[in-house]
C-alpha cells in the first residue's frame, strides 16, 4: 500500500503558520475566530457569532492592521455574496482574513430577490443575483427600513 505523507518541510512550514496564527490571536485579543493553517497560508474567518456586522467588519480591520494591510469590502459579481476581507502577511506567511456580510433581499413570488445599489445609490432588486458592473450589493451594513430584519426588506 502506497501512502503519501507530507514532506517534513511542509510540516515545519505548517507549524510556523500555526505559531504565526497564534500570535495574531494573542495580539488581537479576539475570541471566536476560525483559523486554518496550511503550508501555504493562514486563513482567519471572523464568524457570524462573533458580533453584529459592523463589529465583525471592525474585527477584520484590526486583524488586517496586524497583518500589515487594510480591510476592504468585496461584492461577488456572480452571486449575491459580500464579505469584508483583507490579505496580508504575518511573519512572512500570507494571511487571508474575512467575514461574510448578509445581502439584503426583497420578498418575491419566486423567493427572496437580492438588492443592489447602482452607482448613484438607487436600490433595486436584482433577480438572478448577477451584480451589474459598477453596482454593489445592499447588505446588513446598510441602514434598512425601520421594522425590517436585516435579511428581508419590506415590499
Please report the pLDDT score of residue 3 as a whole number. Answer: 54
Domain range summary for the chain, segments of one domain joined by +: 8-101, 103-155
Please report the pLDDT score of residue 145 as a whole number. Answer: 58
Give the mean pLDDT per block of 10 residues along the chain (155 residues). 55 86 93 90 94 96 97 96 97 95 90 93 91 96 62 47
pTM reported for the whole predicted model: 0.82
Please report the pLDDT score of residue 62 as a whole number. Answer: 97
How is the chain classified by DSSP, letter by letter?
-------HHHHHHHHHHHHHHHHHHHHHT--SEEEEE-SS-EEEEE-GGGS-HHHHHHHHHHHHHHTTS--EEEE-SSSS-EEEEEEEEETTEEEEEEEEEPBPEE--TTS-EEEEE-TT--EEE-TTSPPPTT-EE-BTTS---TT--TTB---
Please report the pLDDT score of residue 146 as a whole number. Answer: 42
Amino acid at each position: 500500500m502506497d501512502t503519501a505523507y507530507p514532506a517534513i518541510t511542509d510540516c515545519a512550514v505548517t507549524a510556523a503558520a500555526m505559531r504565526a496564527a497564534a500570535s495574531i490571536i494573542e495580539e488581537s485579543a479576539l475570541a471566536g475566530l476560525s483559523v486554518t493553517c496550511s503550508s501555504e497560508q493562514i486563513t482567519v474567518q471572523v464568524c457570524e457569532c462573533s458580533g453584529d456586522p459592523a463589529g465583525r467588519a471592525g474585527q477584520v480591520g484590526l486583524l488586517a492592521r496586524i497583518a500589515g494591510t487594510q480591510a476592504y469590502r468585496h461584492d461577488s459579481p456572480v452571486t449575491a455574496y459580500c464579505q469584508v476581507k483583507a490579505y496580508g502577511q504575518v511573519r512572512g506567511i500570507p494571511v487571508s482574513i474575512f467575514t461574510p456580510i448578509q445581502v439584503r433581499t426583497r420578498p418575491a413570488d419566486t423567493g427572496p430577490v437580492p438588492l443592489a445599489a447602482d452607482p448613484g445609490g438607487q436600490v433595486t432588486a436584482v433577480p438572478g443575483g448577477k451584480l451589474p458592473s459598477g453596482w454593489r450589493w445592499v447588505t446588513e451594513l446598510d441602514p434598512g427600513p425601520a421594522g425590517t430584519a436585516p435579511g428581508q426588506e419590506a415590499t
